Amino acid sequence: MTSAPSKAELATAPILKGWLLEHAADSEPWLYAWFFGDPDVEDGDHGHASAVLQIDESSPPGWARTESQLYRLGASYPPAEREIRYWAQKLRKRLFLPLGDAPGGGNDIDEMIAFIREERPFPERRLMRMELAYREERERLTEVDALRVPVPTAEIPIR
């Protein structure tokens, strides 16, 4: 296994936002994400990287090395939010609208839902299910966050 990347390597590495690590039983793991700063991919394009060779063991991971590139790992989104961002970004690209600096064009999910609703890429009931899943997901995450006990910073070991 190769060593962790240097700070200089990380500073120039492209960023994957909204990444998802998938590992099919018959293949190497892959990262699916929105690409930013990759010289071979248009900023904001969604796709997959080459097979993952190494991933940061921190939680959450901050970088991944693939067969072809080192990437910094940005935010990762829960499934329902990720699907809404995916459709908003896909529609923005189809309409030649600016893709923005966050998948889906920004960070206002309600705005993305309204945009998808206006463009009607699929039946309304599908969007309603997506929206309900997102609201339930946010509620669960809010409940989990409320249960977390803050750790005083003096007790966190510094690397």
In a domain, 1, yes or no: no
pLDDT digits (tens, 9 = 90+) for 66-85: 999 999 999 899 999 999 99
In a domain, 32, yes or no: yes
pLDDT at 121 over 60: yes
157 band by pLDDT with thresholds 50, 70 and 90? very low
pLDDT at 152: 52
At residue 21, the 3 state secondary structure works out as strand
Contacts of 51-57 with CB under 8 Å at 24 or more apart are: 51/27, 52/21, 52/28, 53/1, 53/2, 54/1, 54/2, 55/21, 55/29, 56/4
pLDDT at 6: 93
In a domain, 2, yes or no: no
Q: For the residues of 25-81, what is the DSSP string, one character each? A: TTS--EEEEEEES-TTS-TT-EEEPSPEEEE--SSS--EEEESS-EEEE-----HHH
Residue whose pair of structure tokens reads 């309409």 in the numeric block: 95
In a domain, 131, yes or no: yes
Strands 70-73 and 15-22: parallel
pLDDT digits (tens, 9 = 90+) for 17-50: 999 998 878 888 999 999 999 999 888 888 999 9
pLDDT at 25: 80
Q: Which domain holds residue 17?
A: 8-73
Whether residue 49 sits in one domain with residue 26: yes
Whether residue 92 sits in one domain with residue 42: no
